[in-house]
Amino acid sequence: METGGSQSFSNDQLKNENLSAAEQIMPAVTTATVSALVSFLGRINYAFMRQIPADTSYRRDGSSKFGKTNKWAGFPSAAIAWKLHKEPFLKEVTLDL
């Protein structure tokens, strides 16, 4: 973001249309910053007896925007499902949708 300005205009006719007509011109100041980010991702998929799939993943991020004492953060996740339609006790069930 850049900011700049002017003060002490001889009249208010031009408003902010001609900032260079002021007696006192303040130089532009920028607040641009440079940041860095690096990420690592690992994932494991497993299916127990082809009926119970499980998925785990872990993401590790390093950023210059994190706190000064801790530049890394981890984000784990896990999921499990059960494929009921493959169970023997549901083979004869039909759904009318």
pLDDT tens, residue by residue, 17-30 = 666 666 667 677 77
- AA identity, residue 45: N
Range of the domain at 18: 1-32
Domain for residue 96, yes or no?
Answer: no
Same domain, yes or no, for 27 and 43?
A: no
Domain for residue 17, yes or no?
Answer: yes
Domain for residue 49, yes or no?
Answer: yes
Domain for residue 11, yes or no?
Answer: yes
Domain for residue 60, yes or no?
Answer: yes
Same domain, yes or no, for 49 and 85?
A: yes
pLDDT tens, residue by residue, 56-73 = 999 999 999 988 899 999
Say how many CA atoms lie within 13 Å of 31 toward its Cβ: 4
Please state the pTM of the whole predicted model.
0.54
